[in-house]
Amino acid sequence: MLLPGAVCLRMTSSRIHLQETCLTIVNPLFFFSIPYSAIYKVELSPGGSLIVHEKGQGLEDEGHLVVGFAGSLIDRRFGTAEKAMREVRKQVRKARHAPSEEAKIRKGISSNISADLFVCASAALGLVSLSY
């Protein structure tokens, strides 16, 4: 039960942060911090998922999928991905022309302490069960 719990925690903690100079996408395993000046387009896929494209990346490329707004039944009812797209576009338009110290896109592994503790507890309990 701990491993499914860890997966659920990681999935439900996916989000976006509209910061002063960049947009940060936090997905279950990785995060991306994209300066507003490097964002080419923010759109919804045909399935209703929010996707952020970088400059220099063609529209045929996948872009960055925001798992927190990946088109679910709840999203179809309340339109959360479309609302998020409008907010992100508004922030990109407002901040795109502001000077940015960092025009570099940062990528990394996202951390979720609760989910990581669940995985560690699951591994520890698995090892203990093997010894009995």
> pLDDT for 80-94, tens place per residue?
999 999 999 999 998
Specify the DSSP element, H or E, that contains 46: none
* Domain ranges (residues) in the chain: 2-121
Cβ-Cβ contacts under 8 Å for 73 (sequence gap 6 or more): none
C-beta of residue 50 within 8 angstroms of C-beta of residue 66: yes
pLDDT higher than 90, residue 103: no
Cβ-Cβ contacts under 8 Å for 118 (sequence gap 6 or more): 2, 3, 5, 6, 9
Q: Output the pLDDT for position 73.
A: 79
Q: Output the pLDDT for position 60.
A: 65
The residue with greater pLDDT, 57 or 119, is 119
Q: Output the pLDDT for position 31.
A: 95
Q: Is the pTM of this model over 0.75?
A: yes
Q: What is the dihedral of CA 10, 110, 48, 76, to 10 degrees?
A: 40
**C-alpha angle 110/92/81, rounded to 5°?**
65
Q: What is the tens place of the pLDDT at every residue in 17-72?
A: 999 889 999 999 999 999 998 898 999 988 889 999 988 776 567 889 998 888 77
Distance set, CA 5 to CA 19, 27, 113, 116 (Å): 29, 16, 13, 10
H helix count then E strand count, the chain: 4, 7
Q: Output the pLDDT for position 77.
A: 86
pLDDT higher than 70, residue 101: no
Give the torsion sign (CA, 69, 70, 74, 77): positive
Of the listed ranges 9-23, 61-75, 107-121, the one predicted with least confidence: 61-75
